[in-house]
Amino acid sequence: MTADDLNAPLGQQLRKRRLSIPITTSQVMAAVLTLFLGVFVVWAVVGNNPFGGEPIVAVPINLHPGPAAKTADGQTPPKVVAVNPDAALAVQAAPGQMASPPAATKTITIIDGKTGERKEVVLPAPANDAAPDAGPLDQKFLEMSAHGAIPKIAADGVRPADAFAQPVKALPGKPDAPRIAIIVSGLGVSATATADAIAKLPGAVTLGFMPYGSDVAALAGRARARGHEVLLQVPMEPFDYPDNDPGPQTLLTSLTPQQNIDRLYWLMSRLQGYVGIASAMGARFTASEPSFSPVLREAAKRGLIFVDDGANPRSLAGRIAGANNLPFAKADVTIDAVPTASEIDHALGRLEMAARERSIAVGISSGLPVSIDHIAKWAKTLADHGVQLVPITAVALKPKQT
């Protein structure tokens, strides 16, 4: 305050002091923000809506008209259920009636945003969900392990390999026609590639599933529902491991038999309903009798078959399988070793020639789109050529009867 201000009358000094109180812009903004947050908190507490702030849609649906108030034109007004569109479209039956989900529908549970009430609602299945899974398996073929359900022979002696095998009918007028089994491998990791294989390939083609996909059990169930036999591909140690690593829980020659069996149980528990197991890589493992024998004994004990991919000429699979009465098959031709259209067609021709020479032949392929397309096209011509396409259990060497 200046000297002139001090000499001014007292009333004038007081007025200047009142007018000089500082109010900054940041203080004004802080006050406005505090007021806004206070209003928001009060609204959230009173509203009690966990979906607050998200868009909703009101859908009129009337599945089962019941005794209800009529509109002016004599019609029963539909029920209206408001839900979060990211969750579902809710369907509600009339009071006192049980809504039976029609075919190709799904039932889910939603939570009312205001009351917290849980409601069962029925949804139409997605258009691309045309292949349902095969449903729950008979529990007599399952045994609980530390990792989950794994296969077992039923108390009446029926093996899973027989229970889950697909029936085979001889070609009309050609009961002794040569037989070809084809395995498309590496499925279950990519849902799109797996769905493509299930949809395009005939049911007689066997599908091999790797155990790592997030939805591998459901995909394998869909394959079985479409008539495919299913194999579990078991990752085994290659010569250049760990530079070439098949994945988690790989069976290794450096582990004890008990450790490998524990890993095998984990792999087996990832899906159900398969007729057998197949090697995935495994050049070093399948050549080591101390490591490989316990695994094949376990497969025989559980009523499965074993399929060797044919990549390792030093594999002991045939000899060990025979010693343990284990049904066994080995791939004769790798169909897409060179994954081009012309080479795939040439490989399928060699496979057909092998079947004519030896009565049976086995081919193995990856799930590449080009492989799937050419196998599907070729399979349509086989019957006209007098050759029958069959699932893998139809050509596996059977164990001795005990």
Tokens of 214: 């997030």
pLDDT attached to residue 12: 59
pLDDT attached to residue 136: 72
By the 8 A CB rule, do 366 and 204 touch? no
Q: Assess whether pLDDT exceeds 80 at residue 122.
A: no
pLDDT attached to residue 356: 96
| 218-255 confidence digits (pLDDT tens) | 999 999 999 999 999 999 999 999 999 999 999 999 99
Cα within 13 Å of Cα(197), Cβ side: 32
Q: Assess whether pLDDT exceeds 90 at residue 149.
A: yes
pLDDT attached to residue 5: 54
Instruction: Give CA–CA dist 220/213, Å, rounded.
Output: 11
Instruction: Give CA–CA dist 340/218, Å, rounded.
Output: 31
Cα within 13 Å of Cα(157), Cβ side: 2
CA distances from 43 to 29, 115, 363 (A): 21, 16, 67
Please, which pLDDT band fits residue 110 given cuts at 50, 70 and 90?
A: very low
pLDDT attached to residue 384: 93
Per-residue pLDDT, averaged over 275-302, amounts to 97
Q: What is the mean pLDDT of the chain?
A: 80
Task: Give the residue among 346, 277, 337, 342 at the shortest CA–CA distance from 305.
Answer: 277
| 327-348 confidence digits (pLDDT tens) | 999 999 999 999 999 999 999 9
Task: Give the residue among 211, 399, 237, 201 at the shortest CA–CA distance from 315.
Answer: 237
Per-residue pLDDT, averaged over 115-137, amounts to 51
93-107, 171-185, 275-289: least confidently modelled range? 93-107
Q: Assess whether pLDDT exceeds 90 at residue 206.
A: yes
Per-residue pLDDT, averaged over 56-83, amounts to 43
DSSP character for 171?
A: B
Q: What is the identity of the amino acid at 324? A: N
Per-residue pLDDT, averaged over 173-194, amounts to 95
By the 8 A CB rule, do 317 and 306 touch? yes
Radius of gyration of the chain (CA): 34
pLDDT attached to residue 112: 47
Element (H, E) at 277: strand 276-281
Contacts of residue 85, Cβ cutoff 8 Å, sequence gap at least 6 = 55, 56, 57
Tokens of 227: 């008539």
| pTM, full prediction | 0.68
